[in-house]
Structure 1
Amino acid sequence: MSTASIPTYRDAIDALNSLQTNAAILEAVRAAGAKLNPNAIPEMIDYLRRVGLEPSQLNNLNVIHITGTKGKGSTSAFTDSILRAARPGWKTGLYTSPHLVAVRERIRINGEPLSEEEFTRYFFEVWNLLQNTKVFAATTPFMPNYFRYLTLMAFYTFNQLKVDATILEVGIGGRSDSTNIVPKPVVTGVTALGYDHTRLLGERLSQIANQKGGIYKARFFDGVPALTVEQPEEGILELGVCAAEQRASQFTIIDTLPSTIQLGMFIGLAGAHQRSNAGLAVQLVHTTTRATWSGSEIEPLRSLPTSFLDGLKNAHWPGRCQTVLDPKFEDTTWFLDGAHTQESLACCLEWFVSPAVGLPVFPVSDGHPPRVLIFNCTSGRSGDDFLTAILQKIEERLAMHGSLEKKEEFFAKVIFCSNVTYASGNFKAVNLTSAAMSTTDNLNLKTQREIEAAWNKLVPTYSGMVHVLPSIEDAVEEVRKMLNVSVLVTGSLHLVGGVIEVAGLADRALSPKA
C-alpha cells in the first residue's frame, strides 16, 4: 500500500490483483480435470456474513438474476437501460463481468461505473472487514478469489447505497456461481445456451442448461418467474425441469423483439441476435416494475411503452458489435466484439459480414476497404473450432448477400496476438493485469502459434499476411501500416479492452454520448 495514510485507487487494484489465481495453479486444476467447487455457495455465504450481511438482506436489493452462455452481458445492459427509463426515480445497481478497461466498470450505479474514490472506499471497507474476521467454516479460504471478492463488494456496495433494483450477471454457470446466494430474486432469466466452460459445466447442452437453470428460485409460497429465450429442444427441456424443481411461479419462453423496434445499434449493441437479448430484457423489467405482484402468472408485455422503447434505443454496451471510428487515423474503422464462444462468434460474423458494416452497401461486389482480423482466444478454448465457425459464417453470409468474394480471401491480413497490452510485456496500468496468463506461454506465444497452425490448415491457399505478435500494441501498430482499413477484433473481451486502450479509442468506445 502507498505510504499515504489514506489508501489510493492504485492500492485497491494492487490488493485486488493479489487475489487472482495464477496461471500455474489454473493449469494444474485443468490437468486434474477441473470441477465445480461443491462448497462454493456455503463459502460465499461465509464471506457475506464476515462483511456483516445475511443472505436474506440481499432480497432487499430486488435482484434481477441473469445467466446464459452468450448475451448475458448485453441482456444485463438492456435491462439496466430499460429499467432506468421506466423508473427514473429508482437507483439501480448493475454487476457484470469482465471489464474492458477499468475494473470499476463491473459495479455501476444508475448506469455509471463507480468513481475511483467510491471504488477505493467500498473496496477497503470490505477488505478490512475480511482481514479482521475469521472464517466460520474451516474449509473456507481466508480470502475470496478475484471474482468472488468483486461479487461480495458489489453486494456490499449496493446494500450501502440502498439501491432499488439490482441487475446481477452470473459469472460462470449459475448453480454454483458466487452470485447465486440471493434467496429470493424478483425474476430470473437465461440467455442463449451454448458450449463454453464445458470442463466445468458439462459436454452436453442438457448439463449446461442444468447449471444455468440453477438460478431459478422459489419466492415465499410462490415461485420466482423463470424466463428464457428460445433454446434448442435439449436446453428447453432441462430448463423446464429446473424451473419445476425450484418451484418457479412460471416458466416462460420469451419471443424475439421485431426488427421494427430500434435498439442501441449505433452505440454498441448492433446485430440481429441482440433482439432475443432485448426481448428477454423487456420481460425482466416488465416483471420487476409491476405495481403489485401476487404470484399469479405474468403475461408477457406485447405493446411496449415509450419508456421501454427509449431504454432499448439508448442502451450502451461497449465491445459488443460495436463500430468505432479511429480518432487519430480517420480512415481506420474498428469493429469490436468480445465474442468468445462458437455461437457468439457466429453472431459476431453475422453482424460484421453485412452491408454497411464489413460489406459495401450496394452492390456487394463493389470495392471495399481491406479488412484485418485481430483474434485471440484464451487457453482451454479451441482456436481450430473458433476459426472454423468464423469461416463458415463468412461463407454463409457472402452467399446470402450475393457477394462474389471468397471466404479464404475475406481478410487481407490476419493477426493473432496475446492479450498482453504493451510490447514491453506490461498490461495497461493495473486494471488489465492478468495473473491467469502463463508467462512462458506469453513469451513463446504457444496459444497464438496453435491458432496460426489451425488457420493454415483451414485456409491452405490463403494469399494474405498472417502475423503472430506478442502484444496488442504490436497488433495495433501493424494495422496502422495500412490505409483505409476495416479491423475486426474478436475472440476475447480482454483483447477488445486492450485494443480500446492501446488504440486510444476509450473516449469514443466507452461513452454512451460519443
Structure 2
Amino acid sequence: MSNMSTRSYKDAVQHLNSLQSNAATLDAVRASGGKSSNLAIPEMLEYLGRIGYCPEDLNALNVIHITGTKGKGSTSAFTSSILQNVKPDWKIGLYTSPHLVAVRERIRINGRSLPEEDFARFFFEVWDRLQTNTQRQHEKTSLMPGYFRFITLLAFHTFLTLKVDATVLEVGVGGTYDSTNIVPKPVVTGVTALGIDHVSVLGKTLKEIAWQKGGIYKEGVPALTVNQPEEGLNVLEQRAKELKASEFVVVAPVGELETLRLGLAGEHQVQNATLAVHLAKSFLHSQETPDESAHLSEKFRTGLEVANWPGRCQTVVDPSHPKITWYLDGAHTTESLECCMRWFISPNAALSPRHNANSCRVLVFNCTSGRSGSSFLSTMHDVVCTQLKHHKTHINARDFFDRVIFCTNVTYANGKFKGDLAAVAIPDDDLKHLQTQNQLAEAWQSIHPQFRGDQIHVLPSVEHAIDVITSLEDPERVDVLVTGSLHLVGGVIEVAGLSEVALK
C-alpha cells in the first residue's frame, strides 16, 4: 500500500486492514491451534528484528503471559486491575484481543486504550521500519506481517517505548505458536480453563489443546493453571517439566472471592479472579514486593471489584433510550453461552422485578459461519428452561423472548463497516444471501415451533437490528441480550451510541 499524505489514526486503521487474512486463511489458523506453519515463531522473530529489537529486549516488559480456552481475557483484566491498585505509581501495559469498537482498545496503559494520536504515531514507526528494512532470513516470509502479528509487534514497540513497569500479555490463538510467545523469560505464566467445547469445534483432543496452551511455559518461570480435567492437567504438568518451569502450580481457591462483588459479572468469573490473584501475587513476589498474607489485601479487593472488561456479561442502560437496557456478552462457544444465559436469566438481569407485563425481551444473535448455530441455540434454550425452573418462575421457556433478531456483523445499513470493525473474513456468499442468519432463524423455529414468524427478524446489518429495537413503541421496558459474537457486540455498542458508557 502506498504512503498516504496524512498519518492519522484513520490512516493507520486503513493500513492495518490491508493486512487482514481472508476467511479460509483464518479457518486454517484456528484449526491448527495457531500454528499456521512451522515457521510461525521464526517469522515473528524475524519481524521483531526488522523493527529493531531482539527477543531479550522483551524481558524488560516484565510480562505476565496468559492463555487458555476461555476466560483468558477476563483473567488479564483482573490481573491488570489488581496491579494498578497495588502499584498506583506503576505503568501497567495490557495487550488483549479482539477489540470491540476501536482497534486501539487492544493496547492499554493503566486500563485506558491507547489514544488515537499515540496509536497512529507508534503504528507508523513500526510500519516504516518494516517497509525500510526488507531483508529476510526465510524466503517464504511475506514482506509485511498479518494483522494480528503486526498489532503484537506494535504492542511490544509501544510498551518498550513507554517503559511500562509490567505487561499483562494475552495470547491470541493457542499458545505454542502464538505471535505473543516470543518473550524469552516472562515473570509468570498462567493457563485458564481448557474448554471441552473447543475439542469438538477444532476437531482436536483435549491433550492437543493442553499441549498448545502449555507452550507458553518457560524455563525458570512459574507455571500456573486453574483446576482442569485430568487429561488436560496431566499434559500441562508434563509441558511445565519439559520446558523446565521453576514450578507447576494448580492455584488454590480464594475463599473471599465467593462473597466479593467482582467487577465482572457471572459466577464463572470466580475462577478467573482466582488465577489473577495468584498471578499478581507471584509477580509482586518476583519484584520484591510480596503479599504474603493469607487474606486479600484491601488493594487486591479493590482491584477485583473495579475490574472492567466491556462486552462480557455487561449491563448498559441506553443513554438515548432509557427504557432499553442492553445485556452484552460476546460468548461464542457452547460453554461460554451457557455461562452467559445463567447470568442473563437471573434476578440481577432478565428476571429483575422491574421486568413486568409491559416489558419485552429481545435476543440479538449471530455466530461465525460454519459454527453450529443450531447447537448454540439449543444449548441456550436448555439453559433457559433450567434457569426458569431454578428461580421458580411461572414463565414458559417458549415465551421468554418476545422477539429474536439474527443479523450479520456488518455495521451499517449501507453495507459498510466502521473502519476498526472492517472484516474480510466473512464469505461474500454468506453475506449476500444471509445464509448463516437464515439458518439460525430456521433452527430457532424448529426449537420453538409456536414462535410467531413476524417476531423473528433476519437482517443484513447491526444498524437494521438497532432500528427494529428502538422503534418498539408498546413496551415500557426493553431488555436486549446481544450475544454469539464479540464483533456483533462491538457493532451494537458503535451503532447504538453506547461507547461512552460501555467502554469507560
TM-score range normalised by the length of the shorter chain: over 0.9
Contact 2:33 2:209 in 1 (8 A): no
Could you tell me whether the CA contact under 8 Å between 1:318 and 1:510 is conserved in 2? yes
Q: Is the 8 A contact 1:371 1:411 kept in 2?
A: yes
Instruction: Report the equivalent of 2:150.
Output: 149
The change in CA–CA distance for 1:139 and 1:198 in structure 2 (over 3 A counts) is: farther
TM-score (norm 2): 0.93
- Distance of 1:20 and 1:278 partners within structure 2: 33
- Residue 290 of structure 1 aligns to a residue in which SS? helix
2:226 — aligned with what? 229
Aligned to 1:11: 11
In 1: Cα distance, 2:337 partner to 2:244 partner: 35
SS of match in other structure, 1:69: coil
Residue in structure 2 matched with residue 507 of structure 1 by the alignment: 500
Other structure's SS at 2:207 match: helix
1:243 corresponds, among 234, 240, 245, to: 240
Q: Closer, same or farther in 2 for the Cα pair 1:31/1:93, shift >3 Å?
A: closer
Say whether residues 1:310 and 2:287 are aligned partners.
no
TM-score normalised by L of structure 1? 0.91
Deviates more, 1:228-237 or 1:169-178: 228-237
Q: Deviations over 1:118-143 (max 9, x none)?
A: 00111000001101112222121111
Amino acid at match of 2:186: P
Q: For residues 195 and 31 of structure 1, do their structure 2 counterparts lie closer, same or farther at Cα, with a shift above 3 Å needed?
A: closer
Q: Distance in 1 between matches of 2:31 and 2:258?
A: 46
Post-superposition offset of 1:262: 2.2
Partner of 1:406: 396
Matched, 1:274 2:291: no
TM-aligned CA distance change 1:233 to 1:144, over 3 Å: same
Q: Which moved more, 1:29-38 or 1:409-418?
A: 29-38
CA distance in 2, matches of 1:361, 1:503: 25
* Cross-structure match for 2:80: 80
User: CA offsets, 1:72-110, max 9 Å, x none?
Assistant: 111111111100111112111110001111001000111
Q: Which of 251, 257, 265 is the aligned partner of 1:254?
A: 251
Partner of 2:188: 187
Give, in angstroms, the shift of residue 237 of structure 1.
2.0
Q: Which residue of 1 aligns with 2:283?
A: 288
- Alpha-carbon distance in structure 2 between the residues aligned to 1:90 and 1:2: 39
Per the alignment, residue 174 of structure 1 pairs with 175
Say whether the 8 Å CA contact 2:281–2:291 is kept in structure 1: no
> What is the letter of the counterpart of residue 426 of structure 1?
K
CA distance in 1, matches of 2:405, 2:5: 46
Greater CA deviation, 143-152 or 376-385? Answer: 376-385
Give the Å deviation of 1:246: 1.6
Q: Please tell me the residue identity of whatever aligns with 1:388.
A: S
* Structure 1 runs (4+) greater than 6 angstroms displaced: 1-4, 27-35, 298-301
Residues 425-482 of structure 1 deviation map (CA, whole Å, 9 limit, x = unaligned): 0112x11111112222111111111222222222223347211110001111111232
Aligned ranges 1:478-489 → 2 under 5 Å: 478-482=468-472, 483=475, 484-489=477-482
Task: Describe the shift of the 1:293–1:86 C-alpha distance in structure 2 as closer, same or farther (beyond 3 A).
Answer: closer
Q: Which amino acid aligns with 1:146?
A: Y
Runs of 5+ unmatched residues, structure 1: none
Amino acid at match of 1:260: T
For the structure 1 residues 116 and 76, does the alpha-carbon distance in structure 2 shift closer, same or farther, using more than 3 Å as the test? Answer: same
Percent same amino acid at aligned positions? Answer: 56
The letter for the 1-side match of 2:191 is V
| Cα drift, residue 353 of structure 1 | 0.6
Residue number in structure 1 paired with 2:432 = 443
Paired positions, count: 497
What secondary structure sits across from 1:66 in the alignment?
Answer: strand
Partner of 2:118: 118
> Is the 8 Å Cα contact of residues 30 and 202 (structure 2) preserved in structure 1?
no
CA distance, structure 1, for counterparts of residue 345 and residue 284 of structure 2: 38
Alignment-derived partner of residue 130 in structure 2:
130
CA contact (8 A) 2:413 2:461 kept: yes
User: Which deviations, in whole Å up to 9, do the C-alpha atoms of 1:221-242 show, x marking residues without a partner?
Assistant: xxx1111122222222222222
